Amino acid sequence: MVAVPARHRTHRIVFANEKGGTGKSTTAVHVAVALSYLGARVTMLDLDPRQRTSHRYMENRYNTMQRRGLHLPTPACEVFKGRSDSALNLKIEKLEKDCDFLVIDNPGRDDPLARCAVEQADTLVTPMNDSFVDFDLIGQVDPENFNVKKLSFFAELIWEARIKRSRATVSGERMQMDWIVVRNRTGHTEARNMARINKALTEMSKRVGFRVTPGLSERVIFRELFPSGLTLLDKGHLGDLGTSHLVARQELRTLVMALNLPEIVKSKPSLEPT
């Protein structure tokens, strides 16, 4: 993480992918809790009032803390139920008065409010599975040699959002948007397919300027933790952990560091193993 400037400004992290099943909400929740463990004030905004996966996760977490008498670092979380860009912008302005990081979890579909949120991102995170089904959201490849043929709709959307954002950057209102593609569930990817996707992502990243980082592998522990709202960082409350769980925790630490977020640490906390 990098040091923040003297003039503090809330950092907006938007998790966006128009395809479901990529681990978007799981990644968003774990990053938000990780930042809370680092001593930052974190608020989550769930933009899917129907599924509200992030909000349900936090509800489960609060219920577990109350039931067990625990106090765990936990972000605040709200569900946005407005219907206009202006209402969303007002909500963002209101929430960021009391937090260091605002984590926005977009719905897994094309949505006008999701587009608006993307334009507000300081850090844009797009989780994807290591498959060309998911890659198709970003770019289309030649079926014979797997070279990238053209940008897909979502990549074009981000490109336009970054152009709009550059005006605010020039005026000093916001920093330049950092777009990061997170490769989740790589553990089940066949080696040749992984190499092809890596080649396509490398080519695409040079065209549109995103960074690529490893994310969270496919592990049962993530699905098991949802009912309790606990995360891999809640050491001492998860019972006996196997080797795969410890590896998953290290994956999370690596991901948080790779996001290269501003360092807003309030006390002694650390994500390092104890």
Q: Where are the domains of the chain?
A: 2-259
pLDDT tens digits, residue range 218-259?
Answer: 767 888 899 999 998 998 888 776 777 788 889 999 999 999
Question: Tokens 């309030």, residue?
Answer: 266
* Block residue for tokens 């949120």: 117
Strand 148-151 and strand 139-141: pairing? antiparallel
Tell me the pLDDT band of 9, cut-offs 50, 70 and 90: confident
Query: Which residue has tokens 């006996």?
Result: 240
- The mean pLDDT of 85-110, rounded to a whole number, is 96
Task: Please report the pLDDT score of residue 7 as a whole number.
Answer: 47
273 vs 195 pLDDT, higher one = 195
In this predicted structure, the answer to whether residue 193 has a pLDDT above a threshold of 50 is yes
pLDDT recorded at residue 65: 97
In this structure, are residues 1 and 257 in contact, taking their beta carbons and an 8 Å threshold?
yes
**What's the chain's average pLDDT?**
88
**In this predicted structure, which of 111-120, 127-136, 186-195, 222-231 has the lowest mean pLDDT?**
186-195
Q: For 2-259, which CATH class? A: alpha beta
DSSP label at residue 10: P
Pairing of strands 262-263, 2-3: parallel
Query: pTM of the entire structure?
Result: 0.91
Contacts of 90 (CB under 8 A, 6+ apart): none
